[in-house]
Amino acid sequence: MVGDERDNKGIVARKNENFSEWFTEVVQKAELADIRYNLKGFLVFRPWSVYSMEKMYSFFEKSLQKKGHEPHFFPTLIPEENFEKEAGHVKGFTPEVFWVTHGGDKKLPEKLALRPTSETAFYQMFSLWLRSYKDLPFKSYQRAQVFRYDTKATRPFLRSREFHWIETHCAFANEEDALNQVKEDMKTSEEVLHGIFCLPFMMFERPSWDKFPGASRTFAADVLNPDGKVIQQPSTHMISPDFSKAFDVKFKDKDEKEKYAFMTCYGPAISRIFASVVIVHGDDKGLRFPWEIAPKHIVIVPISNDSELVKKAEELKKKISVFTDEVVIDLDDRKSPGEKFNYWEMKGIPVRIDLGKKEVKDKKLSVFRRDLNKKEVILEKDLMNYLRKVSVESGENLKREADKLFKGRIRDADTIAKVKWVLSEGGIARCGFCSVDGDGEKCAVKVEKEIGAEVRGTLLEKENVSGKCVFCGKNAKEVVYIAKAY
């Protein structure tokens, strides 16, 4: 509520007409973040996004802890030697590492990486911590920021040079247990991302050329944008055995033999998932949130700062506090009531209570719920029941709307022209493909160059295949999904 934003009257761009402009406007006008910090690709996250992201962290952490993951805080800096231990990893990440080279005016004896991801830090300790099969499974995680010197165009929340995430790092006695962890991670995504944040997604195994550097298999959740593009959200990686060897992560198994552990990692990027919350649930007025992750729950807008109304607002706030203490009273005398209504609709607060003298006298309340954009008058004595109802229904309504996004979007395509047509309609093309191993990469390049889209991968449960690869005409060995992506 400070600074230049006051001059703005609301979102101008239409979400479905000019998505990109709409997103930029929402980020700025709803005060989610400020892009004016004097360092390219780095964002100042403002309270309205932080309140929500803190809740998102909390849901993910609870879900992980319940499944046996324990929290750690690892150093933000990783010595260069750790990176160099695993060839694929170093090759994949070093082009985008920020390097610390000096402490004060002294050159450090070794370059230190600002963590782009923490496998090489965790595994360093795994090699000290893990001794016996009784130490397995070992399931850890940390809440952290990661840094990538990304040379592509940055975009608030979606692609920044510093982002906020959770990374789990786990070790298992065998590959089967590691694969089961992938399935558990999918369940966590379903529970949290879909169940609570109300974001539908599809889970793919990525083709071999699109794996995490150092992984033997990579799985990722793709969330669909209303504009038809997909956004990669949490991914899980089965780490290559080369990695365990490079870091000497061994354990003594039941048969008394020393064996290398199988590792997995899972990385829900909270600040990026927040972008999907904005994008999937937002509308032309601005933000909408499921109750559980709304920055605040309720705003009370007295139509003037008359002392009777202010007193009544305080009284209501106190009354509501048995249910939620996330109640804001808007007394900003720089805005008219109408401007306040627009402002709070743009901010996506789930419930607004408008308070005038008539309402106070009649013991009635004029309420607005943002999930349905519906205004109604209720009896003051029914307020608590009303709030309870909205707190349950808002998520259900947003989820129902969001789930419709996928409906009819996935379409079979048996020619390149059909693939193009499906994508042009904002869909995801499902088609036969020669191979998701190295062999298929040529066709993937074709998809990128000719269609401007990506092979997102295969389903975890193998599908029946017949016919030819749409791109090279060889026998199809896989069913893949092709989409445009952010």
Residues that bind a second copy (CB under 8 A): 2-4, 34, 36-39, 42-47, 50-51, 53-54, 70-79, 81-82, 94-106, 111-112, 114, 121, 124-125, 128-131, 134-135, 138, 140, 145, 147, 149, 162, 164, 333-334
Least distance from a second copy to the Cβ atom of residue 107, Å: 10
Residue 77 CB-density burial (10 A; 0-12 exposed, 13-18 middle, 19+ buried)? middle
- Identify which of residues 40 and 361 has a Cβ nearer to a second copy in the complex: 40
- Cα distances from 441 to residues 86, 89, 422, in angstroms, run 23, 20, 22
Least distance from a second copy to the Cβ atom of residue 409, Å: 33
- Identify which of residues 36 and 318 has a Cβ nearer to a second copy in the complex: 36
Per this entry, what is the length of the chain?
Answer: 486
Least distance from a second copy to the Cβ atom of residue 313, Å: 17
Least distance from a second copy to the Cβ atom of residue 485, Å: 23
With CA atoms as reference, report the closest residue to 268 among 172, 333, 187: 187
- Identify which of residues 334 and 449 has a Cβ nearer to a second copy in the complex: 334
- Identify which of residues 70 and 448 has a Cβ nearer to a second copy in the complex: 70
Least distance from a second copy to the Cβ atom of residue 77, Å: 6
Least distance from a second copy to the Cβ atom of residue 250, Å: 13
137 upstream amide cis, omega within 30 of 0: yes
With CA atoms as reference, report the closest residue to 454 among 476, 486, 479, 478: 486
Rg (CA), the chain: 25
Q: Within 10 Å of residue 219's Cβ, how many Cβ atoms?
A: 26
Least distance from a second copy to the Cβ atom of residue 440, Å: 29
- Identify which of residues 2 and 153 has a Cβ nearer to a second copy in the complex: 2
Cβ 256 vs Cβ 279: under 8 Å: no
Long-range contacts (CB closer than 8 Å, 24 or more residues apart) made by 5-12: 5/29, 5/31, 6/334, 6/335, 9/339, 9/342, 10/285, 10/286, 10/342, 10/343, 10/345, 10/346, 11/284, 11/285, 11/286, 11/346
Q: How far apart are CA 211 and CA 219, in angstroms?
A: 8
Residue 336 CB-density burial (10 A; 0-12 exposed, 13-18 middle, 19+ buried)? exposed
Q: How far apart are CA 207 and CA 195, in angstroms?
A: 27
Least distance from a second copy to the Cβ atom of residue 325, Å: 9
Least distance from a second copy to the Cβ atom of residue 109, Å: 10
- Identify which of residues 91 and 389 has a Cβ nearer to a second copy in the complex: 91
Token readout for 278 is 């904005």
- Identify which of residues 66 and 374 has a Cβ nearer to a second copy in the complex: 66
Residue type present at position 400: R
Query: H/E element holding 367?
Result: strand 364-369
Look up residue 364 and give its DSSP letter: E
Least distance from a second copy to the Cβ atom of residue 42, Å: 4
- Identify which of residues 139 and 456 has a Cβ nearer to a second copy in the complex: 139
121: left (phi over 0), alpha (psi -120 to 50) or beta: alpha
Least distance from a second copy to the Cβ atom of residue 168, Å: 13
- Identify which of residues 100 and 372 has a Cβ nearer to a second copy in the complex: 100
Least distance from a second copy to the Cβ atom of residue 80, Å: 11
Cβ 351 vs Cβ 368: under 8 Å: yes
Cβ 434 vs Cβ 474: under 8 Å: yes
- Identify which of residues 104 and 408 has a Cβ nearer to a second copy in the complex: 104
- Identify which of residues 64 and 398 has a Cβ nearer to a second copy in the complex: 64
DSSP characters for 400-417? HHHHHHHTTTEEE--SHH
- Say what the alpha-carbon torsion angle 233, 197, 192, 222 is, to the nearest 10 degrees: -20
Q: How far apart are CA 146 and CA 144, in angstroms?
A: 7
- Identify which of residues 164 and 340 has a Cβ nearer to a second copy in the complex: 164
Produce one character per residue of 255-273: b if its CB has 16 or more CB atoms within 10 Å, e if not.
eeeeebbbbbbbbbbbbbb
